[in-house]
Homo-oligomer: A and B are copies of this chain.
Amino acid sequence: MTSAQSAPGTLRPGGRTARTRAAVRDAVLTGLGEHGYPGLTVEYVAEHSGVHKTTLYRRWGGIEGLVADALELAGEDDWSPPDTGSLQGDLRALAREAADSFTDPVQAAAPTAIIAAAFQSDRAADALHAFYAERFSRCETIVRRAVERGEAPPGTDAGAVVRAVSAPLYFRLFITREPIGHALADQAAATVVAGVRAGVFTAAADS
């Protein structure tokens, strides 16, 4: 192991090193993309990660634990939300990024499989919830900057704003099963900006 791989924080309890965990995550995400959640097996993950099946069972418990941990690790990246200088520009870039990632079949495969898995596995649902909660909390800086610039009223619910921008894209992808693209992304961003300006997001919502 290199010193980077054994640095504090990358060595997990139970001796699960960062390298092993990353190899397992890659195998899980590849397998989800290829076979979907119902078709993913511990055997597949063992074969594609080089980690023995008994080790996978011991450390992750099985497929549910493997999927949850892969998603947790996937969330530990250095992604940061767009910073274009305006609320509309930032929200549009955010929505376009989501549209682009889900219209690329290679990029879309694993996330789609995890969204599907959440219908069958409570652990996958919890992991998905945690992934998006963390992801959207990073996005809230978009709204904070907009408030500072005077583009959004103080007290605007940043979490609700960034979720509202993504919602129409996911809704058409996974519920109504309709095509999406940049025009829909731009429309979603413009709608939410209009809502922000009208003060809709300063009122209390459920979340």
Interface residues of A (CB under 8 A from B): 36, 38, 112, 115-116, 118-120, 125-126, 128-129, 132-133, 136, 160, 163-164, 166-168, 170-172, 174-184, 186-188, 190-192, 194-195, 197-198, 200-201, 203-207
Contacts and interface: CB of A to CB of B under 8 A. Distances in A.
A187 B206 CA distance: 9
A100 to B, nearest CB: 13
A177 to B, nearest CB: 4
A67 to B, nearest CB: 14
A170 B175 CA distance: 8
A119 to B, nearest CB: 4
Contact of A129 (B171, B178, B184, B201): B178
Copies in the complex: 2
A191 B190 contact: no
Contacts of A128: 175-177
A120 to B, nearest CB: 7
Contacts of A183: 203-206
Contact of A203 (B38, B119, B174, B187): B187
Contact of A184 (B38, B133, B184, B207): B207
Given A164-B168, A175-B115, A180 B206 contact: yes
Contact of A119 (B112, B176, B184, B190): B112
Contact of A120 (B38, B163, B168, B184): B38
Given A115-B119, A116-B119, A168-B163, A187 B205 contact: yes
